Structure 1
């Protein structure tokens, strides 16, 4: 009897994998949304659409690998968001799940990130070289009266540099809120991208996914909340803020974010763009 095999997913696997994930992993997510995970707009053409487990022609497991080539302070770098991981119950505990996990993170030139790993998964990937990216954030409520200085809101995306315009284009249609912001004493415009969802006790969270000016964010996070948040809070991962804090309310992230860096990438280089949560229109933990 043939053993199950782990292999890369191709274009012909999109429909059966989307059906598998819809039926057995999360029926609340429609198949057309699951398809985005295998057919995302950021994947370099030469890379796989995920990894799957196949047994005598039937797909019984899948792991999402969502690639993106991003501009960083170091130059272009390849990233991979590790997303949905599912294996039919009959195959669990056989070792094939471990093989699936390892297959999805074998590239030495890639920084791997996962934003939704359960605690048990975190323990497993720590053994594979991952470390915590962040497990704390600060939340900022708008002040009354608001004090936005020295920040100013600009109206023209053409003021952004080419890398920022590419990020904006890459996430078009995913429901993110974008803003072009500059410090009053600087000419350079920075792109800010927010993911706005109600969480917890019906509080509208503006999760900061990306800010193109790291110093502006670190020094003026509260002013940014005053500038951009009409209702709710601005939530910023701690790695983007001073180690002593930025004046917001500390809050644990329900599921730690993890990463395994490559080619000189550091935690500060890893934002919250280009990931499965955005493709599926879910809430970030």
Structure 2
């Protein structure tokens, strides 16, 4: 990684300082991201997103560039410790990356500082523009994100034997321990929405987020499915629920969560890339939990 990053020249400027983002910096960083990256999110929403809802020992919240007394660049990071093949693996999810125009020459210092942290599997679930080819040069692998856009249509629930609940107490009462832990870790995550699909004595926990396309915030994206088989049986009721309860007219669902080309769907020709960097973790062991996707409601 280092040799590739060193191939990009940096402008040496002692007045532009690189610092980790500490808890005391969160409000100032939130105001910077509100002003410079996404003004639709208030500073308080950004601040809530920067502080993960799960308990984790984090070395920082990412890195920032300081010139004089002001922030001129930020690269957020979200840390978690996960179980992979019965061992602990530390993940660092690369989040929002924003550098003011006059300081772009310093932008790679932020990424280098994050990637220089030893012992992490790095994920990037929202690379855009020239970040994708940069990640490839840094040996990031691309996850298979083959997906469909499903049109959400209303569907009667009576007589189906299926119930869908969103109340916290009801969700918790139906989940197994693994999904209960995931739910409790993300229950307060600003971008995560939750429901439990119940059929007989079976339960499927579904986590999703609302997404904006073409300035329309009317889409849902599935982030986690606790029981793929039950989801396949009940998907049409779930999509109907997303329409009637959450106002989502369509749902992005990847093949990892549902059968390919579900009914009333359009296969995406160019799904948005998601990438990771690790010599210990395989693509199938990477998921979207404990990441920017659950924290930042852009």
Identify the TM-score tier after normalising by the shorter chain: 0.7 to 0.9
1:161 aligns with 2:176: yes
Unaligned stretches of 5+ residues in structure 1: none
Corresponding position: 1:120 with 2:119: no
Residues 149 and 3 (structure 1), Cα distance of their counterparts in 2 relative to 1, 3 Å cut: farther
Pairing 1:193–2:203 present: no
Gaps of 5+ in 2: 1-12
- Cα offset for 1:51? 0.8
Change (3 A) 1:69 1:221: farther
- The Cα of 1:220 is off from its aligned counterpart by 4.1
Is residue 22 of structure 2 the alignment partner of residue 10 of structure 1? yes
Cα deviation for residue 75 of structure 1 reads 5.3
1:132 aligns with 2:142: yes
Counterparts in 2 of 1:143 and 1:8: CA distance versus 1, 3 Å: closer
| 1:65 to partner: Cα distance | 0.4
Partner of 2:194: 178
Query: Is the 2:225–2:257 Cα contact (8 Å) retained in structure 1?
Result: no
The aligned residue for residue 51 of structure 2 is: 39
Question: Are the structure 2 counterparts of residues 256 and 61 from structure 1 closer, same or farther at C-alpha, using a change threshold of 3 Å?
Answer: same
User: Structure 1 residues 134-143 or 61-70, which shifts more?
Assistant: 134-143
Structure 2 equivalent of residue 69 of structure 1: 81
Q: Is 2:245 aligned against 1:235?
A: no
**Residues 179-238 of structure 1 deviation map (CA, whole Å, 9 limit, x = unaligned):** 223565xx5533111224564595842311111124444x54744646644453332123
**Given the alignment of the two structures, is residue 59 of structure 1 paired with residue 56 of structure 2, yes or no?**
no
| Separation (CA, whole Å) in 2 of partners of 1:85 and 1:175 | 18
Aligned to 2:296: 280
Give the structure-2-normalised TM-score.
0.75
Alignment partner of 1:109 is 2:119: yes
CA RMSD of aligned residues (A): 3.5
Q: TM-score scaled to structure 1, two decimals?
A: 0.77
Q: 1:256 to 1:269 in 2, by over 3 A?
A: same
Residue in structure 2 matching 1:92, options 104, 117, 122: 104
- Is this contact kept in 2: 1:206–1:235, CA < 8 A? yes
Alpha-carbon contact 1:141-1:225 (below 8 Å) kept: no
Deviates more, 1:106-115 or 1:162-171: 106-115
> Which secondary structure does the structure 1 equivalent of 2:295 belong to?
helix
SS in 1 for 2:194: strand
Deviation of residue 158 (structure 1)?
Answer: 1.7
Q: 1:108 to 1:253 in 2, by over 3 A?
A: farther
Report the alpha carbon displacement of residue 137 of structure 1 after superposing the two structures with TM: 1.1
